Amino acid sequence: MRSGGAGVLLLALIAAAAVVANAAVTYDHRAVVINGRRRILMSGSIHYPRSTPEMWPDLIQKAKDGGLDVVQTYVFWNGHEPARGQYHFADRYDLVRFVKLAGQAGLFVHLRIGPYVCAEWNFGGFPVWLKYVPGISFRTDNGPFKAEMQRFVEKIVSMMKSEGLFEWQGGPIILAQVENEYGPMESAMGAGAKPYASWAANMAVATGAGVPWVMCKQDDAPDPVINTCNGFYCDYFSPNSNGKPTMWTEAWTGWFTAFGGPVPHRPVEDMAFAVARFVQKGGSFVNYYMYHGGTNFDRTAGGPFIATSYDYDAPIDEYGLIRQPKWGHLRDLHKAIKQAEPALVSGDPTVQRIGNYEKAYVFKSSAGACAAFLSNYHTSAAARVVYNGRRVNIDSSEQFLKSGQWPQLTINSAGHSVQVFVNGQSFGVAYGGYNNPKLTYSKPVKMWQGSNKISILSSAMGLPAISDMVTLWRQNQGTHYEAWNVGVLGPVTLSGLNQGKRDLSNQKWTYQIGLKGESLGVNSVSGSSSVEWGSATGAQPLTWHKAYFAAPAGSAPVALDMGSMGKGQIWVNGNNAGRYWSYRASGSCGACSYAGTFSEAKCQTNCGDISQRWYHVPRSWLKPSGNLLVVLEEFGGDLSGVTLMTRTT
């Protein structure tokens, strides 16, 4: 149990320690060794595509000012290779620029290449084209998958080498990661799991990156790869070899928000306690996941049902603003730990019991440095959019035509939202949720004698991204990403006819992928002027809207209030700001106390309110006046309620 009164007090007596020059990054049982010196490293996750390049320098500087040594990021395969062999490393995906900026600020980089990343990112970072490689089976001992994975990992390592970005080249990259949280999946993945994990580790080392590799949540990571911990707490963790340091690659600062879910928060008192406890027990590397969460622009949110905001209750909020007291409290903790670094890295602590709930962990170096953690553990003292169309003929003898009773249309879908039209008239929507994305639409629909046209608009809220088995079972998903589907898989039935239930599933349906307006470019500055726009006439579903606005004065971050709208997507000057959805959060939010063990369901807000109301519009997208706002509204909404505001907190 973590407790309200529990705490860790760090006392330090510092003496000078000799530094041995060495150009390589290595490790021993106590710590990562840089230039011959053991280091206690404080790290923070900042994902480069979740902010704009114009934001990066400020985010990195705030991370440094907060006492961090390292910036950690995933590498997003589907962002960098949207089509096989066609690469994208520009704008928000300019990985080299991001790494160089971190180095120029005096920070190290931990590069998590994966290429499976989870991260609540669409399809876990896998490009969708990978699903269609003949004979492929993801994340197992499968030749086609391993060949594609190796090709991408080697490309990233080669790119970093060619830019001189590894530490032995004078660059900032001191650590790399292959795979991601695979250990809990092994039993479900069968006989191919362990050979695959071993192959991934050996393949990564063979790239010649020249820095240590880690595998998180991978208890069987083979030497020299370091297995590491992810979680709210990792003080229980120890690596699988006495020669490896104790590392925490994801110290969760909060949790993600899902459309239809409340907003999670983690008290900084509990966060600081968890970090101090980890270092007290011998940990030497802590990475805050996230330090800045940012925004799921475009269609990058995975999950599914992950909100566009990836704020994560991080020390730096979605807009790049410092979140107090979390940022400042952790900064002060880092200062105390850094003061004690010479003693902390010198060896293992001695433990002294000084009360029923109190212990002292004492670190001493041969040079005279001394640090002690005094701890008290008392628990009470202090999408892509799909159209399916099919014509259905109704005979004049059908009884519902005479009685006025409409037939019942039933549609089974793997998710995530469907909207039904019969003869051009809307007959409502149905949608799932984060805990159960599957859905069933079943409503009476008005039909007439003769030919009737049924159209189903199926909208995906991101492809699954989660590797955790409990979450997969909760979402009724399998273990192999290549076998997952969303959308209307059937059956589609019509009941209430003379012959009873009529199955429409196997009839020939026409099929159209994407948004016609998007293909015409109505969401872009140039394309919006090439089509004729009419006046808004109330809340209509499936409608494109546009407006022009001036940027607010000053440099404060900007957000759109979309609380009056239904569901859709936003473009500003042709840039996709992501999905919006005024989906109200379920649950009952109570008072928050940092006493006891934290979980994502413990300290929540917004129950009964809209999960996400405000949507980030980066300043770099704006000009002083004449900014184009384009909105695709799926359900219908009140345009008069859309406002633009600056953010200060």
Q: How far apart are CA 106 and CA 57, in angstroms?
A: 12
Phi first, then psi, for residue 473 (nearest 5°) are: -65, -40
Q: Is the pLDDT of residue 413 over 70?
A: yes
Q: How many folded domains does the chain comprise?
A: 3
- Average pLDDT (334-342) is 95
Helix/strand/coil percent split, the chain, to 5: 20, 30, 45
Point out the domain boundary residue: 513, 532, 567: 513
Continuous segment of H or E residues that includes residue 421: strand 417-422
Using one digit for the tens of pLDDT, what is the confidence trace for 78-99? Answer: 999 999 999 999 999 999 999 9
For the purposes of burial, counting CB atoms within 10 Å of the CB of 462, is it exposed (0-12), middle (13-18) or buried (19 or more)? buried
Same domain, 444 and 579: no
Q: Is the pLDDT of residue 487 over 50?
A: yes
Query: What is the reported pLDDT for 47?
Result: 99
For the purposes of burial, counting CB atoms within 10 Å of the CB of 548, is it exposed (0-12), middle (13-18) or buried (19 or more)? exposed
Q: How far apart are CA 320 and CA 558, in angstroms?
A: 11
Same domain, 296 and 322: yes
Same domain, 204 and 343: yes
Identify any residues that bridge with 288 across adjacent strands, giving them in sequence order. 44, 251
Same domain, 209 and 301: yes
Percentage of the chain lying above the pLDDT 90 cut: 63
Annotation says 181 is catalytic: yes
pTM across the whole model: 0.89
Q: 303, 273, 283, 293: which is closest to 229 by C-alpha?
A: 283
Query: What is the reported pLDDT for 16?
Result: 34
Q: Is the pLDDT of residue 153 over 90?
A: yes
- Average pLDDT (524-539) is 83
Q: Is 8 a domain residue?
A: no
Q: Is the pLDDT of residue 470 over 70?
A: no
Continuous segment of H or E residues that includes residue 199: helix 193-206
Query: What is the reported pLDDT for 394?
Result: 62
Q: 144, 183, 163, 160: which is closest to 111 by C-alpha?
A: 160
- The pair of structure tokens assigned to 309 is 């905001």
Phi first, then psi, for residue 210 (nearest 5°) are: 80, 10
Same domain, 508 and 530: no
Treating both helix axes as pointing N-terminal to C-terminal, what angle do 193-206 and 143-162 enclose, rounded to 10 degrees? Answer: 20
Same domain, 161 and 248: yes
Q: How far apart are CA 8 and CA 622, in angstroms?
A: 47
Same domain, 55 and 88: yes
Treating both helix axes as pointing N-terminal to C-terminal, what angle do 56-65 and 95-104 enclose, rounded to 10 degrees? Answer: 40
Q: Which of 9-23, 214-228, 321-335 is the least confident region? A: 9-23
Identify any residues that bridge with 276 across adjacent strands, giving them in sequence order. none
Same domain, 503 and 522: no
Long-range contacts of 351-360 (CB under 8 A, 24+ apart): none
| Res. 466 pLDDT band, cuts 50 70 90 | low
Continuous segment of H or E residues that includes residue 60: helix 56-65
Q: Which of 47-51, 133-137, 239-243, 523-527 is the least confident region? A: 523-527
User: From residue 474, how far is each of 307, 466, 467 by CA, in Å?
Assistant: 18, 11, 12
Q: Is the pLDDT of residue 439 over 50?
A: yes
Average pLDDT over the chain reads: 88
CA dihedral 546, 551, 557, 559 (to 10 degrees): -30
Range of the domain at 622: 516-646
Are residues 41 and 284 in contact, defined by beta-carbon separation less than 8 angstroms?
A: yes
Q: Is the pLDDT of residue 253 over 80?
A: yes
Are residues 66 and 72 in contact, defined by beta-carbon separation less than 8 angstroms?
A: no
Query: What is the reported pLDDT for 372?
Result: 86
| Res. 479 pLDDT band, cuts 50 70 90 | low
Q: How far apart are CA 470 and CA 184, in angstroms?
A: 10
Q: Is 623 a domain residue?
A: yes
Q: Is the pLDDT of residue 13 over 70?
A: no
Using one digit for the tens of pLDDT, what is the confidence trace for 363-395? Answer: 998 888 899 888 877 666 653 333 345 566 666
| Cα atoms in the Cβ-side hemisphere of radius 13 Å centred on 347 | 12
- Average pLDDT (601-623) is 97
Point out the domain boundary residue: 446, 481, 513: 513
Same domain, 545 and 631: yes
- Average pLDDT (24-37) is 96
CATH code of the domain in which 107 resides: 3.20.20.80
Q: Is 355 a domain residue?
A: no
For the purposes of burial, counting CB atoms within 10 Å of the CB of 295, is it exposed (0-12), middle (13-18) or buried (19 or more)? buried
CATH code of the domain in which 449 resides: 2.60.120.260
* Neighbour-count burial for 221-231, b at 16+ CB within 10 Å, e otherwise: bbeebbbbbbb
Query: What is the reported pLDDT for 432?
Result: 76
The catalytically annotated residue of 81, 179, 181, 269 is 181
Are residues 42 and 69 in contact, defined by beta-carbon separation less than 8 angstroms?
A: yes
Annotation says 186 is catalytic: no
Q: Is the pLDDT of residue 424 over 80?
A: yes
Same domain, 508 and 558: no
Q: Is 374 a domain residue?
A: no
Q: How far apart are CA 250 and CA 230, in angstroms?
A: 4
Same domain, 165 and 312: yes
Identify any residues that bridge with 609 across adjacent strands, giving them in sequence order. none
Point out the domain boundary residue: 513, 542, 569: 513
The catalytically annotated residue of 167, 250, 633, 634 is 250
Side chain identity, residue 105: A
Three-state helix/strand/coil letters over 1-52: CCCCCCEEEEEEECCCCCCCCCCCEEECCCCEEECCEEECEEEEEECHHHCC
Q: Is 224 a domain residue?
A: yes
Using one digit for the tens of pLDDT, what is the confidence trace for 185-229? Answer: 998 899 999 999 999 999 999 999 999 999 999 999 999 999 999
- The pair of structure tokens assigned to 74 is 């995933």
Are residues 295 and 602 in contact, defined by beta-carbon separation less than 8 angstroms?
A: no
Query: What is the reported pLDDT for 446?
Result: 87
Query: What is the reported pLDDT for 174?
Result: 99
Query: What is the reported pLDDT for 393?
Result: 66
Between residues 557 and 4, the one the model is more confident about: 557
Are residues 382 and 5 in contact, defined by beta-carbon separation less than 8 angstroms?
A: yes
Side chain identity, residue 212: P
Q: How far apart are CA 614 and CA 580, in angstroms?
A: 9
Check whether the bond before 127 is cis (ω within 30° of 0).
Answer: no
Q: Is 441 a domain residue?
A: yes
Are residues 314 and 250 in contact, defined by beta-carbon separation less than 8 angstroms?
A: no
Same domain, 590 and 579: yes
Q: Is 543 a domain residue?
A: yes
| Res. 478 pLDDT band, cuts 50 70 90 | very low
Are residues 136 and 146 in contact, defined by beta-carbon separation less than 8 angstroms?
A: no
DSSP classification of residue 584: B
Contacts of 536 (CB under 8 A, 6+ apart): 543, 545, 639
For the purposes of burial, counting CB atoms within 10 Å of the CB of 365, is it exposed (0-12), middle (13-18) or buried (19 or more)? middle
- Average pLDDT (607-618) is 97
Q: Is 372 a domain residue?
A: no
